Amino acid sequence: MMTYYLQNALRGIKRSPGLSLLVVAAIAIGIGVSITMLTVYHLMSSNPVPEKSEQLFRVQVDSWDPLRPFDDDRPERAPHQMTWRDAMAILEQAPAPRQVAMFEALVIIQPPDAQQLPFEATTRMANGDFFPMFNVPFLYGGGWSRHEDEAATQVAVLSRTLNDKLYGGDNSVGKKLVINDRVFTITGVMNSWSPVPRFYDVINSPFQEVSEIFLPVALTPGMEMRSAGSDWGWKAERINTFEDWLASESAWLQFWAELPTSADQRTYLSFLDAYANEQKLLGRFQRPINNHIHDVMAWMAYMEVVEEDVAVLVGLGFLFLLVCLLSSVALLLTKFNGMSAEMSLRRALGATRMQIVGQNLTEVSIIGLTGGVFGLLFTMLSLYGIKSMISRVPDALFRLDGTMIAAAIGLSVLAAVLAGLYPAIRACTLTPAQQLKTQ
């Protein structure tokens, strides 16, 4: 039966190739446009660490201006980043199995080959908990220990890209590297790691590759490392020396804590409140207590990581798909109308209505599936096109994954069947006698 349907369907398609082609094209373009937008949206709003996104918390304490909130438009918000003093104190005292204080910086690397010119590399200053906390994959070696954090040892973790560039991809663990005129020992080389969004730092662009090199944050005072990312300040302070800068109310560090249970979270929050009260006695934290922890996905929502433009495009993309669907229905209706004589003949020869509907739906599904396949090709093409228009974004933001492929195929068949259902049913509800008579 199925092969008979298929054969008939192919004949039906062949009979009106122009119309069939037009329906395939309409579905392909509709699927292509909507799935392209949906893919980018889906990736932008995806969970970058599903295995522990509910255990990782972004920490905020309100150290802001007594006179004004951090964000005038949303006065309930605490500052998005922390001061050096608070970050270091909380890192040392807070009750959490793992915590990380970090910021983005730029360093000068002297390649081991002395013939090569020194170059600038993006750096993340962080403590060693960063690597186990965020499940960073390693190619060689690993991160550094708390002991090395405490001693402010000159150790470094390289990204795979930088290791390729400096050592041609060889195992460089234990090698010495000159960074900002200091000699560092490499403890590990990260494997390719490109979380989308780059959840651990969405303030300095949520869609960017990870830094090229990681160094202990404890080296900040010694190396006089300035943040190359955002910093916010509210207090007029005269900053002449690096010590002035470290002691200032400028907020330039991002802070995360790993808190596996809700009991841990409660304990942690009460610690933050106690810390704020302690600081109040010292004349700081003059605002009402306003400390927060957000888990990964809550933080992504809080920081509005998904580009507004993409949401607009998803909306317009689905309206576009609706246009294509309406076109398909109109065209299929036309097509089946043209075939009513044949259907009537079959009905007169004993085919049931269900059989005719089944026949028609087979034809429509073939058209839908073909449209879906071309739609996927079109999606890949347009994702590539959009990617090539934007500089400095990770490829992972434009990768078609299994979910989206399944969504595209499913959507196209669903679209075609929806578009074809009415015409297919309508075509066979006509009374055969009447149709045959008009011949």
Partner 1 sequence: MEFGPVIRALRHHKTGTLLAALQIAVSLAIIVNASFIIKQRADKISRPTGMDTDNIIVVSIRGVGENYDTVANITADLNLLRNLPGVVDAAPINQVPLSGSGSSTGLRTIADENVQAISTARYQTDEHSMNTLGVNLIRGRNFYPEEIEPFIPGKTERKTPAVIVVTQALADSLYPDDDALGKPVYWGDMSSSTIVGIIDHMQGSWVSWDGLDRNMIHPGIQADTFVRYIIRTEPGERDRLLPIIEERLTERNRQRVLRYIRTHEELIQRSYELDRVMARVLLIIISLLIAITALVIVGLASYFVSQRTRQIGTRRALGATRADIIRYFLLENWLITTLGAVAGCVLTVLVAYWLETSFELPRLDWRYPVAGVVVLWIISQAAAWVPAWRAAQIPPAIATRNV
**C-alpha span between 156 and 188 (Å, rounded):** 7
Judged by CB under 8 A, the number of residues near partner 1 is 54
Tokens of 363: 């034809």
**Greatest CA separation for the chain:** 99
Q: Is residue 312 close enough to count as binding partner 1 by CB under 8 A?
A: yes
**C-alpha span between 239 and 414 (Å, rounded):** 64
Name every residue whose Cβ is closer than 8 Å to that of residue 342 and which is 6 or more positions away in sequence: none
Q: Is residue 260 close enough to count as binding partner 1 by CB under 8 A?
A: no
The angle subtended at Cα 312 by Cα 311 and Cα 313, nearest 5°, is: 90
Query: What one-letter code names the amino acid at 283?
Result: G
Which of 303, 333 has the CB closer to partner 1? 333
Q: Is residue 235 close enough to count as binding partner 1 by CB under 8 A?
A: yes
Which of 242, 351, 373, 417 touches partner 1 by CB under 8 A?
242
Q: Is residue 391 close enough to count as binding partner 1 by CB under 8 A?
A: yes
Tokens of 287: 């605002």
Which of 94, 152, 303, 323 touches partner 1 by CB under 8 A?
323
Among 26-34, 215-223, 351-359, 403-411, the segment contacting partner 1 (CB under 8 A): 26-34
Q: Is residue 239 close enough to count as binding partner 1 by CB under 8 A?
A: yes
**C-alpha span between 409 and 368 (Å, rounded):** 9
Which of 126, 329, 404, 411 touches partner 1 by CB under 8 A?
329
What part of residues 141-200 is at the interface with partner 1 (CB under 8 A)? 181
Which of 92, 224 has the CB closer to partner 1? 224
Among candidate residues 284, 294, 341, the one with its CA nearest the CA of residue 199: 294
- DSSP designation for 103: E
Q: Is residue 7 close enough to count as binding partner 1 by CB under 8 A?
A: no
**C-alpha span between 232 and 249 (Å, rounded):** 9
Phi and psi, residue 396, nearest 5°: -60, -20
At its nearest, how many Å lie between partner 1 and the CB of residue 238?
A: 6
Q: For tokens 């959009």, what's the residue? A: 386
Which of 306, 313, 364, 416 touches partner 1 by CB under 8 A?
313
Q: Is residue 418 close enough to count as binding partner 1 by CB under 8 A?
A: no
Tokens of 87: 């970050």
Among 80-88, 114-122, 248-256, 367-375, the segment contacting partner 1 (CB under 8 A): 114-122
- DSSP designation for 436: H
List interacting residues with partner 1 (CB under 8 A): 18-19, 22, 25-26, 29, 33, 67, 106, 108, 117-120, 181, 224, 235-242, 307-309, 311-313, 315-317, 319-320, 322-324, 326-327, 329-331, 333-334, 337-338, 382, 386, 389-391, 422, 426
